[in-house]
Structure 1
Amino acid sequence: MRATGGELGWLTWPLDQGEKPGWEVTQRTLNGSQFYTYSVCNVGEREQDNWLRTTFIQRRPAASRVFVELQFIVRDCNSFDATSLTCKETFNLFTSESDADVGTTFRKGQFKKVATIAPDEITSKNELRINTETRVVENLSRKGFYLAFQDIGACVALLSTRVYYKTCPATVKSLASFPETVAGGENQALREVSGVCVDNAVSEKLPRIYCTVDGEWVVPVGQCQCKPGYEEVKDACQECQPGFFKAVASGDKCELCPANTQRLSSGVLFCPCMDGFYRAPTDPSTGPCSGLPSAPRDLVATTTQLSAGKLLLTWSPPEDTGGRIDITYSIECQRCEGIVCQPCGEKIRYEPASTGLTDTKVSVSELDAHLNYTFIVEAHSGVSLFASQATPQAYRPPSTSALTTSLHYTDKCQFVHGKWDIHLQMDFIFSFRKRNSNSRQGPEDTYFSSSEQLKPLKTYVDPHTYEDPNVAVLKFATEIHPSHITKQKVIGAGEFGEVYRGILKVPARKEVAVAIKTLKPGYTEKQRQDFLSEASIMGQFSHQNIIRLEGVVTKFKHAMIVTEYMENGALDRYLKDHDGEFPSFQLVGMLRGIAAGMKYLSDMSYVHRDLAARNILVNNTLECKVSDFGLSRVLEDNPEGTYTTSGGKIPIRWTAPEAIAYRKFTSASDVWSFGIVMWEVMAFGERPYWDMSNHEVMKAINEAFRLPAPMDCPSTVYQLMLQCWLQDRSKRPRFGDIVNLLDKLLRSPDSLKTIADFDPRISIRLPSTSGSDGSPFRSVSEWLESIKMSQYSENFTCAGVVTMDHVLQMKNEDIKNIGVRLPGHLKRIAYSILGLKDQTSTLSVFAV
């Protein structure tokens, strides 16, 4: 009333009080200030029942519990004369709920009592005492309510009535944003509230917190963490500054880029190596980069046992190790007659070995008399596989650092000053090596001509060659006790049973998240052996881009295969869910990881046979790993390196034509499949060849049709795809070549800026211009379904785009305005409309 300068319009009852009024507005002076009160003072009258009702108070839907704070004065009954025998010193508070304002209608029966209000201090004739009391009104559920005050014979002045509810204020805690929340009531002491991670933050579990009845936040659950490339700064996630990186989602700060890395961009997950520096496949992507080792020094040959044809070679370590400690050495022997040289052969013996040496000496024996020998000592490190990318120095071999020594050995013990007449030669033998490798090369074995592939460090063993498959499992996989495995939730279903996410906790090891493949009940012994054979295969691999086998459970009833857990699941589904969200540079980085994994398999003489984006798994740092070895087999030991099978299903869309036609699989056919994976990645999980049948795909391939470039695909990447799809398998690149090229593109991001030509009439398959029967689309929803954009049907309808004629009139801005925001989706719809506008020419393209 102080603010309005008048009455509040509260209702008094009874309406006609005659000479004995009930509640009425009075003006009082307190401390020199004028203020209004509602007061009543019929202390000398019997059976008083005077009511004062507020106006309608609307309730916020979530506020089921409100507080009523009263300021009032109650006169001491003893301050009246003896005639006031009916005087009271209390009054009552009532409430009544309603869904609408009932106006001046008043029925006492609709009100329920909240409390009897009694003063802590009463007012005498000479001293004014103001009381403040708060009462709670619980379990409100209708749109609003009234408060009412009942006088039963007291002398009361109501100074202030304050009605309020409590809320937990909007807040950000642990990078999770929580909205303002009304506090609960007596039936809900803690109200659970779900939050949302702030921009560029993620959480494995939904962030939650609890709001107490007093309006306080307690017990936050599910902490958000800044994404890779971001760090926490004042309740927000900001990009790592140039020169810093962060590889995983965590609460850590961005780290300074390690030694020999580029420090150009902001928001990076890792710092790429500077030119001339590399990371080994086993090095973490967050570690420093290393240079190539220089050549060994001071190579010296001395005799040990002349009669046995023995020689001791010693040398000094490289002057420059490239910053690595994993330096090893290898020895190669060439036997020369005149200008013709050839390998020394298996007769020559090396002690302790000819490769993998960590010491700087080796003993060579079984040398023949009267021949010239050339020994090449090479230094290797974990990054030597990248040597072909480095700038050649003089006649330095392309893949090693080496020193050579030539000597003439004779059993007549010719000495010069008491030692062998040994001529040290510091010129390297690059030209000789090149000529020699070409001499080994024939038209049918071009693909397998490199020494790296002819002599893999480790060769895959087919578990099917074991008479007892259980022996293969025990040889290549670690047995895990089932008590160390905890299943958490089903994440998929495999050929043999369900797949779970779980925890592996082995004594003395840190617990890790794992994927658990199970064998469904009722299996046959053959099904069990087939199930475990995949573990026998995986157990032979150790590479950061190959899914890691943790172990198996075979000695108990329920067999299991336990692998590392990949948080983002299959690559094809992950890309579909993030259509258009990644730049080409990041997609090429994913492809580089896949190619590195396939190079490792190829080097082990292993053919996958089912390489596809659905069989690539992605972890939370977007690292891609090859998985699913159900179809893969070992290369036979023959010149073509093929595997022939008499039956079985072949994934036509991903399989090379020679493998389809003759069921012959090689690493070259895996390269073809890798080209299809490249297309899937650059097209964000689009289905290869769209809705063409397998028969149509095979016919098109044989007629030289190749998948067109996806939208926004760099020209260099598309050209590599076309190289992978060459009809002549011997002309396709090797996986080592592919890794080298992708590394080159990643070191020079500008090489990805030129975009390959894109034809929407071909790149968006025929259904984007006509229905399934070849006729124009009958509805907008049918068209959207054909281009896999059905999720926008309601957007088109709400915007009034309800016919195909309306669709044809749309422009890019119109598509944005109806709510299509993802760049990939925007382009897909826009290009499809382009195809619709030229239906005749589209159909003619496919007719050709």
Structure 2
Amino acid sequence: MAHTVTSQHSSVNVEGLRAATPYVVQVRARTVAGYGRYSNPMDFSTSLHSDPQKSVQDQLTLIIGSVLAGLVVVVALVVIAVVCLKKQRSGSELEYTEKLQQYISPGVKVYIDPFTYEDPNDAVHEFAKEIDISCVKIEEVIGAGEFGEVCRGRLKQAGRREMVVAIKTLKAGYTERQRRDFLAEASIMGQFDHPNVIRLEGVLTRSCPVLIITEFMENGALDSFLRLNDGRFTMTQLVGMLRGIAAGMKYLSDMNYVHRDLAARNILVNSNLVCKVSDFGLSRFLDDTSADPTYTSSLGGKIPIRWTAPEAIAFRKFTSASDVWSYGIVMWEVVSYGERPYWDMSNQDVMTAVEQDYRLPPPMDCPMVLHQLMLECWMKERNLRPKFSRIVSTLDKLLRNAASLKVVTSSYSGDLLRLGGTLPGHNRKSPEDSQEIIRQQMSQTLPIRV
């Protein structure tokens, strides 16, 4: 029977050993890069008359210390080698120097993929708090999730005030893989702590159904909330929402987490109009029954085409830069009050248009500076897209200088805009000329919405 002992030091006390009994011991280390491999098995036997732990303890300390030291050195060398290789390929010395420092600097918090655990259940127990079923009261169903229902309820824990929470349930008849994938979102969410990222309260893994409990966001998903409140917010309020989303994404990016499915439907809004990034099931959990059609790539898996960067569609190259592309689409969704990106165009037509450098036009009454920022997020070369840190800084400046939001772009009435020249500050023809050119160029392959 296997028994696991976890320690943050180079020694550990192994209790409950039987006298005159042989044991096999293996050791592995965990760093920000995940778990290392197990050491070679070491055989021990406890003494018949003396302390049954002593013979193991004396040797185990030395073994663990040696293995930990060796694994740390190996991990450091691998990280340095990978960083140097990336540096040669990209030619960006500063970027990868910062990345190297992030990996080897003590105290830096980096996201750990729960699927790197030999048993993903270990990740749940490490990052998510187990809540007793007696503390939870489900009140009503408010929606459907990927694996079951989403409910509103109340959480009352000892020493804490009762609070309204959202409760995700795992439907009956689940497979072990579905249970693992369902709880993986809690393992991911439990690693985050930011005012613009949805907060995990805890999980219930020992009950039926299995539950994930998060903070409750009164206004629900951002896309439907905007459609219900079309035209009711000032541009400053909309930019404030965008700033919150960008701040949440900067935090996730700094932790080396790539969202892969950033869209207004996956942003939740509370009663104070604070927007929080949610839905950490990743794109691997999207299916054909979702409200937003997806495209199955040749490499497998579902991709939300309208929100996804070209390199992520073509090569499954998901990075913070591809999240920036998606953020540009979210900007467009917010300013257009939840309009569907690319309207009624098919996924294939969207991919063809983007590949030919067509981009979404500014929504009605869109400030010029916001559409310019969208276009920068949609640069084909991902290294030219702004980082989330710069996006946050830009939006902060716009909020301090509200006059810049009053310069509005001309509407293109639903026609796509073709990029020309280098952004920002590229040269364009007049709106009327551009509209006619777009009609002529796209009439053979794409539907034109007027």
Quote the Cα distance in structure 2 between the aligned partners of 1:447 and 1:620: 44
CA distance in 1, matches of 2:416, 2:318: 29
TM-superposed CA distance for 1:757, in Å, is 2.0
What displacement does 1:526 show?
1.1
User: 2:95 is matched with which residue?
Assistant: 449
Q: What are the residue-to-residue correspondences of 1:180-329 with 2, within 5 Å?
A: none
Q: Which amino acid aligns with 1:518?
A: T
Secondary structure, aligned partner of 1:688: coil
Deviation of residue 622 (structure 1)? 0.3
Structure 1, unmatched stretches of 5+, are 1-439, 634-643, 765-834
- 2:122 alignment partner, SS class: helix
Q: Which structure 2 residues correspond to residues 58-73 of structure 1 after superposition, within 5 A?
A: none
Report the Cα distance in structure 1 between the residues aligned to 2:125 and 2:166, rounded to whole angstroms: 20
Query: 2:162: which partner in 1?
Result: 511
Cross-structure match for 2:412: 759
Counterparts in 2 of 1:445 and 1:615: CA distance versus 1, 3 Å = farther
**2:233 — aligned with what?**
582
Aligned counterparts, 1:309-388, within 5 A: none
Alignment partner, residue 351 of structure 2: 698
1:621–1:446 CA distance, 2 compared to 1 (3 A)? farther
- Residue of structure 1 in register with 2:384 after alignment: 731
Deviation at 1:444, TM superposition (A): 1.7
Superposed displacement of residue 632, structure 1: 6.0
Give the secondary-structure state (helix, strand or coil) at the position aligned to 1:523: coil
RMSD of aligned alpha carbons = 2.5
Deviations 1:11-37 (A, max 9, x none): xxxxxxxxxxxxxxxxxxxxxxxxxxx
Q: Give the partner amino acid of 2:219.
A: N
Does 2:161 match 1:522? no
Change (3 A) 1:761 1:571: closer
Other structure's SS at 1:756 match:
coil
In the alignment, what sits opposite 2:24? Answer: none
Unaligned runs of 5+ in 2: 1-85, 103-107, 285-296, 418-431, 445-450
**Is the CA contact 2:120–2:184 (under 8 Å) kept in the aligned structure 1?**
yes
The normalised TM-score by structure 1 is 0.37
Alpha-carbon contact 2:283-2:302 (below 8 Å) kept: no
Fraction of identical pairs, as percent: 62
Superposed displacement of residue 454, structure 1: 4.9
Name the counterpart of 2:397. Answer: 744
Deviation of 1:840 after TM superposition, in Å, equals 9.3
SS in 2 for 1:686: coil
More strand by share: 1
Deviation for aligned residue 1:555: 1.4
Question: Partner residue of 1:683?
Answer: 336
Q: How many residues align?
A: 326
2:136 aligned residue: 485
**Greater Cα radius of gyration, structure 1 or 2:** 1
**Is the Cα contact below 8 Å between 2:87 and 2:96 reproduced in 1?**
no
User: Is structure 2 residue 327 aligned with structure 1 residue 674?
Assistant: yes
Distance, in Å, in 1 between the alignment partners of 2:250 and 2:344 is 31
In the alignment, the residues of structure 2 paired with residue 452 and residue 614 of structure 1 have an alpha-carbon distance, to the nearest angstrom, of 33
Measure the CA separation in 1 of the matches of 2:305 and 2:273.
28
Query: Which residue of the partner structure matches residue 603 of structure 1?
Result: 254
Per-residue deviation, 1:631: 1.1
- Aligned residue for 2:303, secondary structure, equals coil
C-alpha distance in 2 between matches for 1:479 and 1:675: 37
Distance 1:712 1:561, change over 3 A: same
For residue 145 of structure 2, the aligned residue among 481, 488, 494 is 494
Distance of 2:281 and 2:414 partners within structure 1: 37
Write the letter of the residue equivalent to 2:301: G
Name the structure with the higher helix share. Answer: 2
The aligned residue for residue 566 of structure 1 is 217
In the TM superposition, residue 584 of structure 1 has moved relative to its aligned partner by 1.1
- Give the SS at the match of 2:233: coil
Would the alpha carbon gap of residues 651 and 557 (structure 1) be closer, same or farther in structure 2, given more than 3 Å must change? same
Q: Which residue, out of 586, 611, 623, partners 2:274?
A: 623
The C-alpha deviation readout for 1:705-742, integer Å capped at 9, x for no partner, is 00000001110111000000001001110011111111
Q: Which amino acid aligns with 2:268?
A: L
CA distance in 1, matches of 2:298, 2:355: 22
Q: Which has the higher contact order (CA 8 A, sep 6+)?
A: 2
Deviations 1:126-184 (A, max 9, x none): xxxxxxxxxxxxxxxxxxxxxxxxxxxxxxxxxxxxxxxxxxxxxxxxxxxxxxxxxxx
- 2:173, 2:265 → 1: CA distance? 28
Whichever residue aligns with residue 656 of structure 1, its letter is A
SS class of match (1:606): coil
Measured after TM superposition, the shift of residue 847 of structure 1 is: 1.3
| Distance change >3 Å, CA 454–CA 722, structure 1 → 2 | farther
| Corresponding position of 1:713 | 366
Aligned residue among 312, 329, 336 for 1:659: 312
Secondary structure in structure 2 of the residue aligned to 1:555: coil
8 Å Cα contact 1:607-1:632 kept in structure 2: no
Residue identity in the other structure for 2:355: N
Match of 1:540 in 2: 191
What do the CA deviations read for 1:87-142 (whole angstroms, capped 9, x no partner)?
Answer: xxxxxxxxxxxxxxxxxxxxxxxxxxxxxxxxxxxxxxxxxxxxxxxxxxxxxxxx
* CA displacement at 1:758 relative to structure 2: 1.1
Distance 1:517 1:534 in 2: 11
Q: Is the 8 A contact 2:416 2:438 kept in 1?
A: no
Judged with a 3 Å threshold, the aligned counterparts in structure 2 of structure 1 residues 762 and 669 are, in CA distance, closer, same or farther, namely same
The one-letter code sitting in structure 1 at the alignment partner of 2:126 is K
Q: How does 1:2-151 map to 2 (within 5 A)?
A: none
Q: 1:550 aligns with which of 201, 206, 223?
A: 201
Distance 1:761 1:662, change over 3 A: closer
Alpha carbons 1:568, 1:617 under 8 Å: kept = yes
Quick one: which amino acid aligns to residue 731 of structure 1?
A: L
- Alpha-carbon distance in 2 for matches of 1:761, 1:459: 41
| Distance (whole Å) between structure 2 residues aligned to residue 523 and residue 757 of structure 1 | 52
Change (3 A) 1:658 1:627: same
Deviations along 1:479-515, one digit per CA (max 9) or x if unpaired, are 0011101111111000111110011100110111100
Change (3 A) 1:447 1:491: farther
User: In the TM superposition, what is the alpha-carbon distance from 1:455 to its structure 2 partner?
Assistant: 4.1
**Deviation readout 1:524-557 (Å, 9 max, x if unpaired):** 1111111101000000000000000000000123
Distance 2:187 2:100 in 1: 24
Partners in 1 of 2:270 and 2:321 — Cα distance?
28
Q: Using the alignment, how far apart are the partners of 1:645 and 1:559 within structure 2?
A: 34
Q: Is the 8 A contact 1:548 1:563 kept in 2?
A: yes
Q: 1:446 to 1:694 in 2, by over 3 A?
A: farther
Measure the CA separation in 2 of the matches of 1:735 and 1:445: 21
How many Å separate the matches in 2 of 1:687 and 1:594?
Answer: 19
